[in-house]
Amino acid sequence: MRMSKLAPLICRTQRQAHALFSSFQIAMASSLVMCTLQMRGRGSLVKCLQNVDKLLLRGIGTNVVSAQAEATRKEETDEKVGHRSFYAVQVERQEQAERSVLISCPFRVNEKRFHKYLLNHGDINKFFFYESHSVYAVVEFASRESVTSLLEAVAIPIVSDESVVPFKSRLLSLRNLGAVESPNQPVKQCQPQTTIPINELIQRLSKEESIDQQINSLTEAYQLTEENSRLRFLVCSLLKDIAAAYFPECTIKPFGSSVNGFGKLGCDLDMFLDLGGISGYSVKRPKSGLSLEYGMKRANSERAVTQSILSVIGECVEQFGAGCVGVQKILNARCPLVRFAHQPSGFQCDLTSNNRVAMKSTELLYLYGELDPRVRYLVFTVRCWARTHGITSSIPGAWITNFSLTLMVLFFLQRRSPPIIPTLDYLRDLAGPADKNVIEGNDCTFVSDFSKIQVESNKETLEQLLFEFFEFYATFPFSRMSINIRKGKEQNKPERTPLHIQNPFETSLNVSKNVNSTQLERFVALCQESSWLFQQSETNTRRCNGTPIPWGLATLLLPSQVAGIKSRRKRKREPATERIKSLLESLKNKKLAT
């Protein structure tokens, strides 16, 4: 495992060693274009690559600047997170969340005093700030008893001219009475909870020295941080408290982007109410004689039960949930859900129930992401590229979804020679008895033990892979063939929809049934354009005038000018080819002038 993760790094290191000993740092500041040429020494490159190395070893790269340094032991545990099974990580995160509270803070509060105040209730494992409308602190105690102790000292707010719904949760509010904090009080270091704007990203990428580094940089800027991940589990835990009032044995688990390894900062929080742990199903019934059953409300179907439960939870979130706004009970959807915005975390939340196939899909994606780090890098890059060009969208429609796009990347990686990741059928064949999992007639079995999986030693760089990805789908026979990660081979299409991607578990379903031919054509055309730009980019010299000039991956994120590919968003930005042309022109003129 460890070797296979290092492979692309070694490969990239070699490539970078002979190609990239110098770099241009280019920044564009408003209309003023200033160029400063800065030759980077060998030492700084080595340091840079060491960082990448560390990032790759971690599996999940994080830009943690914890307000409270964690114990070294703890750090070491996190270091190993990447090598642990999906469920082990989930359980640990859930436990952390149960021991945590979320506290809204005044903007200027003395961090040390606050920390000392909290320590009265027990040891603290983790303590960080972030900003979302207001400043919030996440405090993870070492034990749940500390939370109980803390809550005993918490008052119900008394507000003039208003009333409060006296529903108690672990969402608290810090008051700082009397003493005025010094105006020199440093503003707390806040953890970012959203991605940087696309233009800032393009600038950042333009400064990188290789396309591989650009891909790393993009992933690092976009992926969930350690803190954001904890916050997601904490929101689930707060919601679990609401559901557990009626179903004490329930759990609420995040699924999808929040935990599959491909989540972007700011992505929606999809949650799954799991009632599977309810006792009483397994109570022994005597074959004869008296026995007791609960007097329970009957419903026509499991779906109706789910609707009932979500209706109550939705009502509670709406009526009692501080900072929960825009609550919608979408109970007649194929998969009934409660949607709301959780202001304290800034998450758009979807709560579903009885959605276990989605949970298995999440686990599968996580597994693929962990098998080889290139999987995550490529998925992040392709997703960012697609979103920038309006191939995907946050609103539902005829576009390709992130899930479809991820399956396309996985399929592409299965089709490399040698393959970078194995097929789902292979993973199923490796499964042990404990992995057996059939959900509503769908075989969702696959191996959970990473050590059983043999990965072939493909040495392609990220740059190569990204280019090949565009080439692959620019020429894919979409009209005849179906994408199938279970087999890892194109299959004949069973139906006439423009794009056919087999659902990995519900194999009779097409994941991209919604996609119309226009959207597919846009995707193909954009792949063609990107592949072409990629080739152009190879020959680009990256000059500077104080501001970095977009190159490589950055170029691919500039607005497209391909005929018929109109991005639905960000039309204001200049077309890429136009902008590149004018930049090249200005550089040429500058060169001539000097």
Touching a copy of itself, residues 207-266 (CB under 8 A) = 242, 245-247
User: Which residue among 288, 417, 454, 508 contacts a copy of itself (CB under 8 A)?
Assistant: 288
Pairing status of strand 337-342 against strand 324-330: antiparallel
**Best CA proximity match to 553, nearest among 574, 533, 577, 582:** 533
**Cα 13 from chain centroid?**
27
| Of 34 and 154, CB closest to a copy of itself | 154
Instruction: Using CB under 8 A, pick the residue from 43, 186, 289, 396 that binds a copy of itself.
Output: 289
182: contact with a copy of itself by CB under 8 A:
no
Residues 6+ apart with CB under 8 A from 76: none
Size of the site for a copy of itself (CB under 8 A): 73
Residue of 30, 186, 293, 495 that binds a copy of itself (CB under 8 A)? 293
25 in Cβ contact with 209 (< 8 Å): no
Say how far residue 409 (Cα) sits from the centre of its chain. Answer: 16
| Rounded Cα distance, 135 and 112, in Å | 16
| Complex with a copy of itself: residue 131 or 435, whichever CB lies closer | 131
CB of 112 to a copy of itself, least distance (A): 11
- The correct pick among 61, 254, 256, 321 for binding a copy of itself (CB under 8 A) is 321
Q: Please report, as residue ranges, which positions from 329 to 368 form the binding site for a copy of itself (by CB under 8 A).
A: 344
Single-letter amino acid code for the residue at 515 = V
Contact letters for a copy of itself, residues 105-134 (x by CB under 8 A): ----x---xx--x-----------------
CB of 132 to a copy of itself, least distance (A): 13
- Residue in 75, 79, 200, 302 binding a copy of itself, rule: CB under 8 A: 302
How large is the greatest C-alpha to C-alpha distance in the chain, in angstroms? 102
CB of 129 to a copy of itself, least distance (A): 15
How many Cα atoms are found within 13 Å in the side-chain-facing hemisphere of 588? 7
Single residue of 312, 335, 358, 474 touching a copy of itself by CB under 8 A? 312
Of 391-420, binders to a copy of itself (CB under 8 A) are: none
From 29, 46, 299, 438, residue interacting with a copy of itself (rule: CB under 8 A): 299
76 versus 293: smaller Cβ distance to a copy of itself? 293
Query: What Cα–Cα distance (Å) separates residue 89 from each residue in 22, 83, 362?
Result: 40, 10, 13
C-alpha span between 552 and 545 (Å, rounded): 18
Closest to a copy of itself by CB, 247 vs 532, is 247
Least distance between a copy of itself and beta carbon 572 (Å): 39
Chosen residue from 34, 154, 333, 438 binding a copy of itself by CB under 8 A:
154
Tokens of 311: 């209706």
Q: Which of 29, 283, 438, 509 binds a copy of itself (CB under 8 A)?
A: 283
Contact 225, 189 (CB under 8 A): no
For a copy of itself, which is the closer residue by CB, 175 or 581?
175
Minimum distance, C-beta of residue 282 to a copy of itself, in the bound complex (Å): 8
d(CA 157, CA 167): 11
Q: Considering beta carbons, is residue 33 or 147 the nearer one to a copy of itself?
A: 147
Establish if 153 lies at the interface with a copy of itself (CB under 8 A).
yes
**Which of 2, 285 has the CB closer to a copy of itself?**
285
Among residues 267, 309, 386, 549, which is the contact residue for a copy of itself, using CB under 8 A?
309
Closer by beta carbon to a copy of itself, 160 or else 184: 160
- In the complex, least distance from residue 165 CB atom to a copy of itself, rounded to whole angstroms: 4
What 564-570 contacts at long range (C-beta under 8 Å, 24+ apart), as own/partner pairs, is 564/521, 564/522, 564/525, 565/389, 565/522, 565/525, 565/526, 565/529, 566/390, 567/388, 567/389, 567/390, 568/390, 568/393, 569/390, 570/198, 570/388, 570/390
What is the C-alpha to C-alpha distance for residues 403 and 509, in angstroms, rounded to an integer?
A: 14
Which residue number, 305 or 430, has a Cβ lying nearer to a copy of itself? 305
Q: How far apart are CA 134 and CA 126, in angstroms?
A: 20
- Which residues make beta-bridge pairs with 325? 341
Residue number with CB closer to a copy of itself (10 or 164): 164
